[in-house]
Homo-oligomer: A and B are copies of this chain.
Amino acid sequence: MKKLLICLLLLPVLSTAQNEDPSVFIRKIYDEALENGEAYENLRSLCKDIGARITGSAEAKMAVEWGRNLLESYEFGNVYLQEIQVPHWERGNKEAGWMISESGEISKLHIIALGGSVGTNGLIEGEVLAVNTLDELELLGKEKVENKIVFFNRPFDQKHISTFRAYGGCIDQRWDGTSLASKLNAKGVIIRSLASSSDEHPHTGSMHYEEGVEPVAGAAISTKDADLLTEWLAKGKVTVKMELDCRTFPNETSYNVIAEEKGHEDDQIITFGGHLDSWDVGEGAHDDGAGIVHCIEALRILKKLGYVPNHTLRCVLFMNEENGNWGGKQYAELSSEAKEKHLCAIESDRGGFLPIGFDIEGDIQQVGEVQAFTSEVLEEFQIFRIQPGYGGVDIGPLKQYYPEMIQIGLAVNSQEYFEYHHSEADVFESVNKRELELGAAAMAAMIYLLDQNL
């Protein structure tokens, strides 16, 4: 009897949600996010009850359990794990470095191994060779690079309004630099942290070695250390000593964690997700705990409001974005094998900051189509910028199998992101409650608009 009563009470909600003025329904989404939001407490739990969660770690395993339990607690239609393989790299216990000036001054480096680096096998030592570009190093050649500690020192170009552009302008140093230096017989590599601020914590991130290279170790030092090292180098030779204990272990089994609410019209899928793994420092709060709780909260809100989707809404907590994107790749491959139909995909992986828009990855017609049914209605909620742009790393591999699909990235205020990114500073306390909630509401609003209009 009680159940029947609840069903009857819910009926009006279910029937009106579909036919409402979109801005009225989106207002309800925002009200729920801002007044009864659960994103912030979910993020606190992910950060504090689990912590940093690189694939291969116990924390990553616990994060899978955390994600499944949370999704099940919301009683979403279908909650399941998707088995994938993931790399397993560990930082180890030893991570230290010093710089020594020609006159004998010693300064301890704030240093962190790059993800995927080999260890140093004890304390290594070399004269520092500073370069600003990979081309510059290549031109110097083996003779001048041999046995040196190569220091990639190109800073962020602060003139970019979007800090992602500044990051993009520096990332080759981290991704390719160590491999190139290895080829030229360097002793090791340090890079200026890819950060927009001047501070004392170093920022890690992924790197790779080209096939066949005899690898040397690569690490990042803090931007302040990089400035001091630059000063010392202007006065004379500088030696760096460092020890890194990192190692790569055999691949492991892990999981993408998935929740679905089935559509009542067809079986086309709207995928939305972030990544459940993080680097092994800090708490992965902005990167990408925020994206995870954005997506879970978006589905929770739509369900709570009694929204019955036209298409299948699928929330994916991707595993292993940080060092390989194997979760995203396997998700796309398995989707293709299962001949799933994908309508579009949305990702949140730029932090829990104030949402300002969405970037649409598609042809000019697709961008225009999405703009037509989103721009005006979302402006009221201070979502100003629906423009061509990049979707996201996790959803990216779907493009290979579904070249026609629209991909969308949630765009947020980028000014502070690279102060926290991949560092000890990326903790729960750096996330603002209301900004996180607005991000979740923006995701829910976009999912709703796509479901109604595509």
Q: Which of B159, B415, B434 interacts with A30 by CB under 8 Å? A: B159
Q: CB of A363 within 8 A of chain B?
A: no
Shortest CB-to-CB span from A157 to chain B, Å, is: 9
Task: State which of A9-17, A181-189, A318-326, A379-387 sits at the interface with chain B.
Answer: A379-387
A419 vs chain B, min Cβ distance (A): 8
Also in contact, A416 and B438, with CB within 8 A (given A381-B161, A385-B384): no
What is the interface of chain A, defined by CB distance below 8 A to chain B?
30-31, 34-35, 158-159, 161-163, 196-197, 354, 356, 381-382, 384-385, 413, 415-416, 432-435, 438
CA distance A263 to B384 in the complex (A): 35
- Interface-central residue, A381, A434, A435, A438, by most chain B CB under 10 Å: A434
In the complex the two chains form, is A158's CB within 8 Å of B356's CB? no
Task: Provide the residues of chain B in CB contact with A435, threshold 8 Å.
Answer: 415-416
Chain B residues in 8 Å Cβ range of A161 = 30, 381-382, 438
CB distance from A432 to the nearest CB of B (A): 6
Is B354 within 8 A of A34, CB to CB? no
Per the bound structure, the CA–CA distance linking A311 and B85 in Å amounts to 66
- Cβ–Cβ < 8 Å partners of A162 in chain B: 382
Residues of B within 8 A of A34 (CB): 158-159
Contact partner, A434, options B35, B158, B385, B434, Cβ 8 Å = B158
A382–B433 CA distance with the chains assembled, in angstroms: 23
Chain B residues with Cβ under 8 A from A197's Cβ?
A: 433
Question: CB-CB < 8 A to A356: which residues of B?
Answer: 356, 382, 384
How far is B382's CA from A30's CA once the two chains are assembled, in angstroms?
Answer: 23
| Minimum-distance CB pairs A-B, first 8 | A384-B384, A415-B434, A34-B158, A354-B413, A31-B159, A415-B435, A34-B159, A161-B382
The residue on B at minimum CB distance from A160 is B34
Q: With the chains together, A158 CA to B40 CA distance in Å?
A: 14
Whole-angstrom distance between the Cβ of A230 and the nearest chain B Cβ: 17
